[in-house]
Amino acid sequence: MHPELFRLGSFAVPSYGVLIAFAFLAAVALLRKRAPMAGLTKDEATDIGVWILLGGLGGAKLLLLVVDWPQYTSSWKAFLSILRSAGVFYGGLIGSIAVAILLVKKKRLDFWSLADAGAPCVALGQAIGRLGCFAAGCCWGSACHQPWAVTFTNPKAYENVGVPIGIPLHPTQLYEVLGTTILTILLVKLEPRAYSGQTFVRYLLGYAALRGTIEIFRGDPRGAVGPLSTSQLIAILGFVAGLVILALRRRQPVLEPAHQA
């Protein structure tokens, strides 16, 4: 675990921030490659990617604030600390989808074509971003006695995110890295689509199943709704939403884009 990539005097470059930036660049690069699917030029895909990123960041932090309201409203300093956190991914996904809906209306695009083009890009960004979580120590797992358990030892990580030090834990961050990497590959390899929205549906179903399972092994505080964590509840809702979209869209033909790069 290396929360700091390197240090120049008193200025530290966080590993998490670097990997999140790389995750965004990789996701946009893939979106540019898939831009014709949504009837976009590569430059248009980049612009849309930036706006969706901003919506995702806002949504992720907003859901984090809702989930941990007492913690972040206990003091002004605690409230400002939310700026250092990436937030809750599902909040980011909801924020990104909301921004995408606004963009498709403004630019007169087909939402399902854009969603299909972007789904593997989101999964790729997640895979790289979770490496950042592992480096920082956040999103840690519960106690684990298996051979693949990881033990965090860096006091700086404990200071930053509160990860337990010296205790073998489930490497939940790496579970998600592996799962979302496989999901990215499958989403691309299973194309072409039988209907518009199919790749997006596959992402919703696949990630909901993955995240809901990984949440069982998480050990960090992240909010709860009854016996479920917040993300488990949203994963269930996401899975149901995927099934509903599948039922409604499966007879819809693939929409040819108005223009291509």
> Over the stretch 76-97, which tens digit does the pLDDT of each residue have?
665 555 555 656 777 888 999 9
Identify the top-confidence range among 3-17, 48-62, 143-157.
Answer: 143-157
Q: Look at residue 198 and tell me if it is in a domain.
A: yes
Average pLDDT over residues 36-59: 92
Position 52 pLDDT exceeds 80: yes
**pLDDT score at 132:** 92
Of 36-40, 80-84, 115-119, give the lowest mean pLDDT range. 80-84
The answer to whether the CB of 183 falls within 8 A of the CB of 206 is: yes
Identify the top-confidence range among 86-95, 160-169, 177-186.
Answer: 177-186
Backbone φ and ψ of 150, nearest 5°: -120, 150
The answer to whether the CB of 174 falls within 8 A of the CB of 235 is: no
Average pLDDT over residues 107-126: 94
Triad 11, 130, 66: Cα angle to 5°: 85
**pLDDT score at 32:** 97
Peptide bond into 192 cis (omega under 30): yes
Structural domain including 120 reads 4-249
**pLDDT score at 261:** 43
Q: Look at residue 54 and tell me if it is in a domain.
A: yes
**pLDDT score at 73:** 65
**pLDDT score at 77:** 61
Of 44-58, 68-82, 183-197, give the lowest mean pLDDT range. 68-82
Q: Helices 111-136 and 42-67 sit at what angle, rounded to 10 degrees?
A: 60
b/e for 215-251, b at 16 or more Cβ within 10 A? Answer: bebbbbebbeeeeebbbbbbbeebbeebeebbeebee
Q: What percent of the chain has pLDDT over 90?
A: 64
Triad 145, 128, 80: Cα angle to 5°: 90
Position 242 pLDDT exceeds 90: yes
Cβ neighbours of residue 49 closer than 8 Å, sequence gap 6 or more = 24, 27, 28, 31, 32, 121
Question: Token match 């149901």: residue?
Answer: 240
Q: Look at residue 65 and tell me if it is in a domain.
A: yes
Q: Look at residue 260 and tell me if it is in a domain.
A: no
212 vs 237: CA distance, rounded Å? 11
Q: Look at residue 261 and tell me if it is in a domain.
A: no
The answer to whether the CB of 50 falls within 8 A of the CB of 64 is: no
Position 66 pLDDT exceeds 80: no
Q: Look at residue 254 and tell me if it is in a domain.
A: no
Q: Look at residue 116 and tell me if it is in a domain.
A: yes
According to DSSP, the β-strands at 4-8 and 11-14 are antiparallel
Residue 238, sorted as left (phi over 0), alpha (psi -120 to 50) or beta, turns out to be alpha
**pLDDT score at 257:** 67
Q: Look at residue 74 and tell me if it is in a domain.
A: yes
Q: Is the pTM of this model over 0.85?
A: yes
What is the SS3 assignment for 240? helix
112 vs 249: CA distance, rounded Å? 10
Q: What percent of the chain has pLDDT over 70?
A: 90
The count of structural domains within the chain is 1
